[in-house]
Structure 1
Amino acid sequence: MQQPVTLRLGDIQPGRNPRKYFDPAKMAEMIESVRHQGIISPVLVRPLEDGRHELVAGERRVRAAREAHGDDYAMPVVIREMDEFEARSLALIENIQRDDMAPSEEAVGAAEIVGLCQGDRDEAARQLGWSRQTLDSRLALMNCSASVLDALNTRTIKLGHAELFAAFTKEQQDKLLPVVVKEGHGVADLKKVLERAACSLSAAIFDKVDCAGCQHNSAAQAEMFGESIGTGSCTNRACYNEKTEKQLEATAAGLRDEYQTVRIVRPGDNHTRIQLVADGPKGVGAEQSKACYACQNFGAAVSGLPDSLGNVYKGQCFDTVCNMKKVAARIRSEKAPEPATAATAPGSSKTSSAAKGEKPGAAAPEATAVSESEKVKAYRVALWRKALRRDIGTNLELVRQYLIAIVATGQARSINETAFRALWERLLDDKPPVSSFASAAEGAKAASPLAQENLIVAMLASAIEGVDVPYLTQMCRHHKLDLTKYWKLDKAFLDLITKSEMKVVADELGIRAAMGEDFRKVFAKSKPEVIEALLSVKDFNYDGRVLKVLKF
């Protein structure tokens, strides 16, 4: 065993002591003892390359000696050669074996040892003389926020508090800690609060594979600590809610192949939807229900409500006012006297086969027409504008006639200034004047006759882009625009509609007949596969066929 020697206290530099908190009362007693009796037990130091020495174990004695006698005090030391790993291990072990080191301080020190062992926890436990379970439970405290660890260091809270806090996010811990300290809540009180804040994993609608080993899974906490909330809970509400929202969106996305409208319903959406039924007190009638299938307000709902989270309700009407009117119309028609020879009405409750009530997962009804959704309307209007521009082309006589008509009907304001200025710049290779009439007139004068003609054409093109839809419809009808020259079935359109509506399209264009027996097999596949099949029917002529929903 090495014999102790003395070193000037000021020549001993601090080490990496895992202990951060020193009890003031006990330190005061030690300082008084050292003042009268000096240091009896030497501290452990290691030599450094620059000739100085670093403290490894004995910081309480060093602090007491410095307070009692100053930096010139001859400090008894044992000098031992050791590397960084040995120094840190000895410092931690020495503190654990001595006076009540806080578990949080042990956790920080143990984490450093694991780092020195290159992540090998078994070797770290062996070095510390701990069981693997003890090591893991201490390291789990590193899930605590800095303020919680500090509170445990200073004995402001108990180990049970910290173990409970460790299951929650650091933000949650920092919000709750001041309340616990100020109001003096015990471990049992904190446990009740955290149990109320946790989310049930059994009720989760998302894939819980990643939750098994998560630090916020209360089951993992129960295995690790003496104090934990009941198993089967997630203590990270933000993560839980984010995963729930992603699953709701994924469920909704999967329904959009079948329905034009899919909504996630939230608390407060009670009166924004109603189950579409043909008969019963709230039935619209069999014939009307078929017509409703093509409406853009017909679709499916995904529940975002706590008591039915993730449930799917198909066959929903999202225009409750319209639904009430249809129900009222059906009731009035039933009260009207029937002809003596009339058979039981097809829409009566005796013969109707429409589904009753909200049934999650009910089969999607077949569409009878392509819904004029906002997306389809936008596609249709864009087609009209593009086709009209191309059909007029460079027919300057027609261009002048249409421009005169546009101005005469008060539609000159519809000329899209931004579009026209862009065309000016492209045709004349110069930016048009912003506000100077003279400059604009000179620019137009300097343009070649061909460029002037092109500018007039550009003016009409920009007007076509700017007029409202009713006026555009008038122009298309007057011009007798032939859409068959400018449209044939494409992916862009099919992406806008449901698989059920694609069957309507296939019937209208004659694709179902051309596909024969393959038609049913194709529609058993995914929407992208159905689209690909509809656009690649062998020997089918797609030209000259325009859907009714696209006509003006």
Structure 2
Amino acid sequence: MQQPVTLRLGDIRPGRNPRKYFDPSKMAEMIESVRTQGIIQPVLVRPLEDGSHELVAGERRVRAARQAHGDDYAMPVVIRPMDEFTARSLALVENIQRDDMAPSEEAVAGAEIVGLCQGDRDEAARQIGWSRSMLDSRLALMNCSASVLEALNTRTIKLGHAELFAAFTKEQQDKILPVVVKEGHTVADLKSVLERAACSLNAAIFDKSDCAGCQHNSAAQAEMFGESIGTGNCTNRNCYNEKTEKQLDATAAGLRDEFQTVRIVRPGDNHTRIQLVADGAKGVGVEQAKACYGCQSFGAAVSGLPDSLGKVYKGQCFDTVCNMKKVAARIKSEKPETPAAKAAASSGSSKASSAAAGDKPSAAAPEATAVAESDRVKTYRVALWRKALRREVSQDPALARRYLLAIVATGQARSIEAGPLNTIWERLIDGKPPVGDFGKAAGAAAALDADNEARLMIAVTMSAIQGVDVPYLTSMCRHHKLDLTKHWKLDKEFLELVTKSEMKVVADELGLRKAMGDDFRKVFAKSKSEVIAALLSVDGFDYTGKVLKVLKF
């Protein structure tokens, strides 16, 4: 365990505390305690690149010490090296596990932890120490308007009120809230209104043809709130929600040909996605953005939120931690070198002389622009390797014998199946192989001429290549220096495995975008099948000799 040391309090930078409210009476008690006894339990800080330290956990103690002793106080700390994202996670979990956080603050912190867990709510609940139902109920508060959250924080309304308000649009919440507060309506009162009048048919995203004559279609308003909610509501919430969910699912399904990941986002999913951009303060850089288009975390979001129900947001990154790291790397690569860095780099090399002249360092090398290695692409790739290697080995009997000996000698004889050999046997020798009769089989083999014996040996090698596991197959391909350009060119089978956004990566890598010129953008506005047809029929483009990185071993 790391031993605590002390740092000047004024030299500790503020961290990312999700807590916004500190009870004045409790803080006063802590300040008085610190004034007489000092800080007993050290706070947690992390070192930064510039030599300073940032607070990770212990803000109440820092505030109390500053009030009691000022910035020159020798603050006991534990210094633990960690990256920004580990620090954020620790700060969130440390605060959320305390019992005096407001529900709204718990909601914000919980949503951030869900984002750090890439949308996995079960894992987020485990890290926090909550049940899944507890997490979901807190995350639902993320759909509350600012005025409702403020009313909850000040105890003007109860938590039950806020959870019900979350089902309304924010505009409706702000209209209903004053009525609830002024007239002192209970949670049960609000629930009654929600059940009877919150499902606006005007805002419904599904086909409402069947709703016109439905007995649950009522323009009558809840007397309690007059015109606060609006007219034309469905009073059968279960039916309304079921139709809404089906429409959300249908919208999402229609996007899966275009994007690797498509998700319906709910209240509390605030930090599970971010718009992917190349430029600006939150940009990952142009080259990195191209790589991101082929990532499994790139896609589209369908809103399940009351204020934007059914809306589609394309170009989303669903790995926000990775996105933040890429943004940070881009920003770091664009910073000019410090004098100290230039001095350290000046060792007489040409690179050092360039740095001394004040040039900016070159941007960090972007990740390879490639199609994501989905299970479907991996299956296609391995099948291609086996087929290509078998084809080349089948043309050289001597090579087939050497490879077969190597396969057996390295313990891979178990990968040989009798099927391919038996097929050739039946073709060369009249009748099926004598199963279980070694003598008869040996006699038949002895009667073979040299050519037919070589064919059978090749068949055994082909069977082995087909049966070896993927790591072993990869080593065989590398040893053989298998040239895939002789065995593959872009085809419909491969393109049907990837999304439209990944097809743009394919087009960039093979040179199709440049060959298509101005037609490229027009083509990608069409359906997936039309895009495939267009990519496979570019006039004057030579498809041979070009292999995608994702298919290489």
> What TM-score do the two structures reach when normalised by structure 1?
0.48
Higher normalized contact order (CA 8 Å, seq sep 6+, divided by chain length): 2
